[in-house]
Amino acid sequence: MSMLKMRSFLPAVAEQLFRDIKKTYQETSQIPDDLLIALKFVFGPCALQALDLVDQHSVTCLLSPSGRKAFQVMGGSGRLYTCFVSCHYCPCPAFAYTVLRRNEGPLCKHILAVYLCQAMGGAQQESVSDQQMSLLLSGTEAL
């Protein structure tokens, strides 16, 4: 997903933060302390949890021949969550409660981990058939 498409879901400061992380990470393979602090400031406690998911290589990008894309994130509990960044959705309880119901933040740790992996180029890639992707998108199959 391009940074322009995030505009409808994330504030401009978050978009700029991901651009800065991407640029710096490409140059140094590290995220400097000032960007880590900014990440924590913008996203709160889920920032550290998301970074932990990234460090554990918990994010997989699923790609189908037709170009559809979804992300699967292995949560800390071992549960697999299928996240759709294109529509800014995660089926985890924290997203339903904190983001949708209480409006306390823009995203959960799983979606933040996906954004971070996109910025850092760290998501594992897996090809799936169009049929598997259709089942996944319909919620009838977890890969």
Spacing of C-alpha 135 from chain mean position: 21
Tokens of 34: 């000032």
pLDDT tens for the chain, 143 residues long, are: 444 344 345 678 888 999 999 999 999 999 999 999 999 998 988 999 999 999 999 999 999 999 989 999 998 888 999 988 777 889 999 888 888 888 777 789 999 999 999 999 878 899 999 999 988 878 755 55
| Dist. CA 51–CA 109, nearest whole Å | 8
The predicted pLDDT at position 24 comes to 95
